[in-house]
Chain A
Amino acid sequence: MTMYIEVGKTNVPDERGYFGEFGGRYVPETLMPALDELAAAYAEAMADADFQGRLAHLQRTFTGRPTPVTYAARLSEQLGGARIFLKREDLAHTGAHKINNALGQALLAQRMGKRRIVAETGAGQHGVGSATACAMLGLECHVYMGSVDMARQQPNVFRMKLMGANVIPVESGTKTLKDAINEAIRDWVTNVRSTFYLLGSALGPHPYPMMVRDFQSVIGIEARQQMLELAGRLPDVAIACVGGGSNSIGLFHGFRDDESVELIGVEAGGHGVLSGEHAARFADPAKGRPGVLHGTRSFVLQDADGQIMNTHSVSAGLDYASIGPEHAYLRQTERAFYTLATDEEALEAVKTLSQTEGIIPALESAHAVVEAVKRAPTMPKDSIILVNLSGRGDKDLDTIMRELKLNE
């Protein structure tokens, strides 16, 4: 019988958690046994038809999957080239793709008998996803969030609290996602026996990058089927934004064996690579180079001395100094290509999509829209671009109104 989540679809990672030269487990000894335990429990759960059935049932009846694919007719006509389709993860319960992984890991925690959950969050969507899954399953949820991010994603802070999560402000370092992960790991090291670390992106020590990818692969697997039904063929290009890289790896996974589909990841260009204020790990060869952050070897924005650099993006969810190791591998093997969109371009794309399609994208997802808008006019009319619209923009309304000066 077919399982909901197919494991072993690719030959990466290897048993040590490596995607080529990227990945691995660079963590304090205290966590090594916990990671072994997690990897074993995950493998068992994936082989268990009951577990997979329960996840599939909840994804259908709770998350609202499958999320639709929408043809962006007016936008496509306006651009006059390729037809643009949107995979609507913004319509998943909680308003973003993060719930796919949060639900999977929360079910795994429950199966492992761990009732205390810690999570980190940047934009707040993973925090909300975790709080949601924990409320539904009756688990205790603690979310670490940088105080800078708490200020710019207030609505998500309220949502987490309303669902009973304990939101812990992080005041160390840059007070954003990187520091929230540091604190979540410190909590996990301290309470490792009772606690499950529900990591929200396709990064961290093995098995997290693999596990998060698998739970998010539903995006690409659904989208592939939906494109065949809607358009009668696969897209020519599939585009997603890349912070840590969970929505993009989930989209890419569905198409990785389809050589005709070009896979494009869009990083946060912030104020532009030359400004130094960005989160474009692949686009700035002076600062983005292989290194280790948060337990995994990948591309890391760092200074000449190996200190992790401050990043900037208007979107909290892309504001991170490293990138999931599988993206570094997909780039190295040239299976996927990576580009960037600046703050200004992303904000413009928010406005464009809102006014042509009646869909307000999250600032993160708007980065992917930027690339589609750039490419579509250069492509033939019978070609297709698929954009993963990873989340909705409600959480960003304050920022969007301020930046686009819509209040004036």
Chain B
Amino acid sequence: MGVEAIRGMFDRAKAEGRAAFLPYFPVGYPDYAGSLDAIEAMSRAGVDGFEIGIPFSDPLADGPVIQAATQVALEKGMTVRKCLEGVRTLRGRGVHQPMMMMGYINPLLSYGVQAFVRDAKAAGADGLIIPDLPPEEAQDFVAACAAEHMALVFFLAPTSSAERIRAVGERATGFIYVVSLTGVTGARTELPSDLKDFVARLKAATDRPLVLGFGISTPEQARSMNGLVEGFIVGSALVRAGANGAAAVGALAGELRAALNTAE
């Protein structure tokens, strides 16, 4: 559980000579049951871990696809409590991969920092990803996560200075979420040309696992993560598939996962 489960995930992927694949999916889209089905389908497709989205009314790091999906989830009555209940249900249905709760800070503050970390852990989650919480403001979350052995992921971006890379590297647990580009979430036809240099800059400053996100959507892009980073996240492309049902999400996740296999 928690930080150890995440470490195990990276170890297994590394032993297979590939990057770990962590899909993002918001609870409540296209509806509550549909989102759990989609996550279960991806679990069966062999993904390595999950970023479980908690919908928020003002998701300012997200592009149009995730904005629209989380808006639908809220209109259908999704709450933080229900998201945690979803995680518990998924564990009961045999979803065994590490699960990171991804949510904006205000609903988590409203729930209560300690209460949220404790309840997330009890539901079966392994860590937190909070896109609008830089390490400077994270004292309460750092303490609560440490007490529960939950991972607390921080971000690094192409704009991060060497000094920030070192500081974030020291504070992040589980992994570092590497934002591939300056921008919001959403599929891009091409990843930035200087991505390799950026990752090299990060690796020179920290030995934490790096998980790359923002812009990745195709099997080719997924394959290019092997050897570059320890893991990667795909969100918008899977959420878009979610409109066509859980099986479509599972199929796309399977395709992305298969692209990582090296021994042909």
Contacts and interface: CB of A to CB of B under 8 A. Distances in A.
Interface of A: 16, 24-34, 172-173, 178-179, 182, 185-186, 189-193, 290-295, 300, 302, 304-308
B136 A16 contact: yes
A307 B155 contact: no
Interface stretch (B18-26, B105-113, B228-236, B254-262): B105-113
B132 A291 contact: no
B126 to A, nearest CB: 21
Interface residues of B, number: 39
B103 to A, nearest CB: 9
Contacts of B56: 306-307
Given A26-B133, A190-B183, A291 B110 contact: yes
23 contacts: A26-B133, A28-B157, A29-B134, A29-B159, A29-B160, A29-B164, A30-B158, A31-B159, A32-B134, A33-B161, A172-B67, A173-B58, A179-B58, A186-B183, A189-B183, A190-B183, A302-B106, A305-B81, A306-B80, A306-B107, A306-B108, A306-B109, A308-B57
Contacts of A182: 58, 60
B182 A192 contact: yes
A294 B60 CA distance: 8
Interface string B45-69: 0000000000011101101000100
A307 B74 contact: yes
B10 interface: no
Contacts of B105: 26, 292
Given A29-B179, A306-B106, A306-B108, A192 B159 contact: yes
B60 A185 contact: yes
Contacts of B161: 33
B185 to A, nearest CB: 10
B243 interface: no
A28 B177 CA distance: 11
Contacts of A308: 57-58, 106
Interface in B139-168: 154-161, 164, 168
Given A28-B157, A292-B109, A307-B57, A189 B134 contact: no
Given A173-B57, A193-B159, A300-B106, A24 B182 contact: no
Contacts of B63: 186
A30 B179 contact: yes
Nearest to B77: A305
A16 B134 CA distance: 12
Interface in B156-206: 156-161, 164, 168, 179, 182-184
Nearest to A305: B79
Contacts, number: 116
Nearest to B56: A307
Given A26-B134, A28-B131, A308-B57, A189 B184 contact: yes
A31 B159 CA distance: 8
B137 to A, nearest CB: 5
Q: Which 8 A-B pairs have the closest CB atoms?
A: A306-B110, A306-B107, A29-B155, A30-B157, A190-B183, A307-B57, A305-B79, A308-B57
A303 B155 CA distance: 28
Contacts of B132: 26-28, 292, 295
Contacts of B134: 25-27, 29, 32
A29 B168 contact: yes
A289 to B, nearest CB: 8
Given A25-B136, A182-B58, A185-B60, 13 more contacts: A26-B132, A28-B131, A28-B157, A29-B156, A29-B164, A30-B158, A33-B161, A172-B71, A182-B60, A189-B184, A295-B132, A305-B110, A307-B107
Contacts of A178: 58
Nearest to A16: B136
Nearest to B133: A26
Interface in B52-104: 56-58, 60-61, 63, 67, 71, 74, 79-81
B109 A291 contact: yes
A32 B106 CA distance: 19
Contacts of B58: 173, 178-179, 182, 293-294, 308
Contact of B106 (A27, A30, A172, A292): A292
A292 B132 CA distance: 9
A307 B80 CA distance: 10
Contacts of B110: 291, 302, 304-306
Contacts of B182: 30, 189-193
A191 B158 CA distance: 12
